[in-house]
Each structure stands twice: as C-alpha cells, then as structure tokens.
Amino acid sequence: MLIFWILKTACWFCQSLLFMQFGGTVAQWKAVKKGADWNYGVPAKLVKCADGDAML
C-alpha cells in the first residue's frame, strides 16, 4: 500500500495512538503530504519507519 497524503482530520483526537508505524523509510515518510493539524490531539510524537524513527 502506498500513502501519498494524509487528510486534515485523519487522526484528530486519536488519544490512544502512542506511536505510528510506517513500512517505508524516514525519507519516504517525510515526503508524504499531510493536511494541516492532521494529528491534532494525538499523544504520539514518533513514527517508526523501516530505517529508523521520525518525529511527527
């Protein structure tokens, strides 16, 4: 599955989301377009990628 963008309200208030996992690399995660405030109210600060971790 390829991810090209994350919509603005995709993860709003997902309060049980402590981290995210992404099967691609950190560079690929950074290339994903993300809507403004897409992770509003989410405690997660970390995305675990195949080659390391990226900050949200």
Residue pointed to by tokens 């970390």: 46
* Sequence-distant (≥ 6) Cβ neighbours of residue 7 within 8 angstroms: 35, 38
Say what the pLDDT of residue 35 is.
Answer: 82
Q: How confident is the model at residue 42 (pLDDT cuts 50, 70, 90)?
A: confident
| pLDDT exceeds cutoff 60 at 2 | no
Question: Rounded to an integer, what distance in angstroms lies between the CA atom of residue 55 and that of residue 36?
Answer: 16
Question: Which tokens go with 49?
Answer: 């990628």
Amino acid, single-letter form, for residue 33: K
pTM for the model: 0.73
